[in-house]
Chain A
Amino acid sequence: MEILVCVKRVPMVGGRIVVTADGQDVDTRMSGFTVSPHEECAVEEAVRLVERHGGSVTVLTLGPPAAADQLRDMLALGASRAVLLETDGREWGPVATADAIVAAVRSSPAPGGPAAPSASDDPAAPPAPGCPYDLLLFGNEAADTGDYQVGVRVAHALGLPCVTGIKNLEVTDVGARAKREYRGTEEAFDIPLPAVISVKEGINLPRYPSLPGRLRAKRATIERQEPEWHPEGLRKERLRVPAGESKRAAVLGTGPEAVPALLALLDELGVLS
């Protein structure tokens, strides 16, 4: 089966977030970048599906030229093709991002080449006309903007069924069985392929890239396209860190000697029986 995974490059934030002086971005001078966590799991899931059912994984991101680093990280995990929708570094909203992804999907060649996927051991239906993929995977929401909608918008534009927040995925003879937990109850969805599915961290534990994988990724070609930006109906004016975040804990003591004070505190909070 042919799988497209859309990932996002996000700042690697540690103990605190700092906003740039103009209030438009997270200050990343002291931090690196990474692939948003849900999406790394989406790539791992795609690689596992392909290991099981055959086919190939394409990773796609929309971002600045440096986002090629994140694509290479995902190639090292086992994706075989990478597409960068290159931007000038400004932030794209979810509608423009979805539009760019849709255009890239429509323009992409059938990843497996001109031949139709072999029917014998491919359980999935052949890709629908206009969609060269059996499955489009997304993260449920990006770690930074948390818009919760890019995958759903892509699904609608391509006329594909869509389910989000998935933590267990199986490809069957008739499509996909996707599961998630909702308030302690398991929800299962049986959906036909091709489909758009967004996943959450916990669906799997992503592997560490192998050395051969990293070497292959380093040499791989990144396909580049330059989509056109358009303004959104949700317009960012300013980012800010919520007030009152910083306090200083009252230190009860050091090491085991602090235990009597800690015990007294637990008693005061009413958590001791």
Chain B
Amino acid sequence: MIVATRYAMLKRLGKYIAIRGTAILVTTIIAIYIVIFIANMGGFVDEIIKSEIQFGVYEAIRNNPAYRGMNKSVIELIARDMIEMEIKRIGLDKPFIYRSFNYLIDALTLNLGRAIRITSASGSRQVRIIILERLPASILLFTTIQIMLFFSSLVTGLYLSRRYGSKIDKIIVALSPLSSMPGWFYGLFLIMIFASWLGILPYGGLVDAPPPEHPLLYALSVLKHMVLPMMSWFIAYFAINTYSMRTFFLMFSSEDYVELAKAKGVPAREIERRYILRPTLPPIVTQLALLLISSWMGAIVTENIFNWPGIGTLIWMAIANNDSPVLIGIVTIYAYLLAITVLLLDIIYVLIDPRIKIGGVGTS
């Protein structure tokens, strides 16, 4: 009897995962294709590359003494041949629509290819190496910021939900309009105060120049450079995050089962842990997971303002240099990570939350 229901449940779960997985996969593929299309300007980037090839070939012929003194029309023929060969070698001789699907397959198989102009610090053109080189900087700064923001506002929010209406609570509520301005905006003011005026913290960058030799000093220097960006995000987002966490916990703490537990005389700490925190766990986990996934993308503007060598600056460099492979690479990895996370969260929800039933009515 029990085995039968378990089997039926597993079957339903399998079907559910298959359907969700397919839907997410299709969504991801379409999104990546749109990015490929836009990043190539619908094929316009190819025209730019073609004209560059042409220029390169004529330049090479002009600088090659072997061709000097030859008939103009002969040279023209040779040049045309060389251009055609080069175009074929890169694969630009086929129509864009055809190639765009090749790009899509390459992207989906994570065959990220070579950048057009951007090189890594070590001189490599491999998109994979370029991204991997930038990744630690973004993760170091933004994942740290997000984790610190998340947990500090979680703890403060929980604390405030117990004593809402208190003075600290009112201060947090009053400070929440600060979030109407983005983090980078506070960065401008902080640079002005701490770097330009007081001169105690650096304007930006990852580490002092020249970088300190000793690893400990190096770490301290990096830490010093992280202070201002972190502060700017805290000013912008701490109050609003705490405010929404607190409201969220307040809503759950007015549920009937919490009232019942209180009436039964369950200790306050126990109520908090088992009756409030536990059912709110799934949305909180979702939020954290999505934050962490998006944090590695860096932040384009904040990285720009603080001159931080992360993924955000790389995205901006790729756009400014028409370097579509780099851009497509970043977006593809992001889309994949997002898709996997969403699917995993869906499965975890079904497994841990008894209130979610599979195969029920509703399409969401």
- Chains A and B come from one and the same complex: no
Which residues of B approach A to under 8 Å, CB–CB? Answer: none
